Amino acid sequence: MDSPEITRGERGGSQTTRAVMQLREMLFSGEIPPGTRLSELALVERLGMSRTPVRTALTMLAEEGLVQAIGTGGFSARSFSERDVNDAIELRGTLEGLAARFAAERGISTIAGQMLGDLLARLDEVVTAPTLDADVMEQYIELNARFHREIIRLAESRVVERQIERVMALPFASPSAFVMAQSRCEDARNVLVISQDQHRAVVEAIIGREGTRAEALMREHSRVARRNLGQAVRSREALEQVPGGKLIQFDRYGEE
Partner DNA sequence: GGGAACTTTAATGTATACATAAAGGAAGGA
Partner DNA sequence: TCCTTCCTTTATGTATACATTAAAGTTCCC
Name the residues that contact a copy of itself, by CB under 8 A.
Answer: 1, 3, 5-8, 11, 35, 55-56, 59-60, 62-63, 65, 68-73, 78-79, 83-84, 87-88, 90-91, 94-95, 98, 102, 156-160, 162-163, 166-167, 170, 255-256
d(CA 187, CA 189): 5
Picked from a copy of itself, DNA, none, the partner binding residue 162 (CB below 5 to 8 A depending on kind) is: a copy of itself
Q: How far is the CB of 47 from DNA (least distance, A)?
A: 9
Q: Which is nearer to DNA, 72 or 109 (CB)?
A: 72
Q: Shortest approach of DNA to residue 121 CB, angstroms?
A: 40
User: ∠175-181-184 over CA atoms, to 5°?
Assistant: 135
Shortest approach of DNA to residue 51 CB, angstroms? Answer: 4
Q: In what order do the strands lie in the sheet with 75-77?
A: 37-38, 75-77, 67-69
Which does residue 135 touch among a copy of itself, DNA, none (CB within 5 to 8 A, set by kind)?
A: none
Can you give the binding site for DNA, defined by CB under 7 A? 8, 11-12, 14-17, 37-41, 49-53, 55-56, 72-74
* Nearer of residues 72 and 131 to DNA, judged by Cβ: 72
The residue among 36 and 231 lying less far from DNA, judged by its C-beta, is: 36
Cβ contacts of 220 within 8 Å, gap of 6 or more: 93, 198
Instruction: Please name the helix (run of DSSP H) or strand (run of DSSP E) that holds residue 70, with its range, or none.
Output: none
CB nearer to a copy of itself: give 13 or 73. 73
Q: Which of 176, 168, 127 minimizes the C-alpha distance to 147?
A: 176
Give CA angle at 22 (20, 26), nearest 5°: 115
Least separation in angstroms between residue 14's CB and DNA is 3
- CB-CB neighbours of 4 under 10 Å: 6
Identify the CA nearest to 66 among candidates 84, 42, 41.
84
Taking the complex as a whole, the smallest distance from the CB of residue 216 to a copy of itself amounts, in Å, to 11
